[in-house]
Amino acid sequence: MATSRRARRPRLERLARKPMAMARRVSLFEREVTVRLAPAALELLHGVARVLSEGELSGDAYTGSTMLTVDLRRTADRVSDPPDGATAQRAALLYAADDRCRDHARRVAVKEARRIAGCDLVVPGVDLESRARGHELHLSLNVEAQRERRASPSPAR
35-45 pLDDT tens trace: 999 999 889 99
The answer to whether residue 154 is domain-embedded is no
List, in order, residues 6 or more apart from 81 with CB less than 8 Å away. 87
How many structural domains comprise the chain? 1
Query: Are the beta carbons of 127 and 109 closer than 8 angstroms?
Result: no
pLDDT reported for residue 136 = 97
The answer to whether residue 89 is domain-embedded is yes
Instruction: Tell me 84's DSSP state.
Output: S
The closest of 8, 117, 133 to 63, measured between CA atoms, is 117
What pLDDT band is residue 1 in, cutting at 50, 70 and 90? low
Distance CA(56)–CA(117), nearest Å, equals: 6
The answer to whether residue 118 is domain-embedded is yes
Name the β-bridge partners of 58: 61
pLDDT reported for residue 9 = 66
The answer to whether residue 63 is domain-embedded is yes
The answer to whether residue 66 is domain-embedded is yes
Residue 84, domain extent = 51-147
The answer to whether residue 108 is domain-embedded is yes
Q: In the chain, what's the furthest Cα-to-Cα distance?
A: 130
The closest of 129, 112, 105 to 45, measured between CA atoms, is 105
What phi and psi, each to the nearest 5 degrees, are found at residue 46? -70, -25
The answer to whether residue 121 is domain-embedded is yes
Between the alpha carbon of residue 115 and those of residues 60, 107, 118, the distances in Å are 15, 12, 5
CA 36 from chain centre, in angstroms, equals 8
Mean pLDDT of the chain: 88
Query: Are the beta carbons of 55 and 64 closer than 8 angstroms?
Result: yes
The answer to whether residue 44 is domain-embedded is no
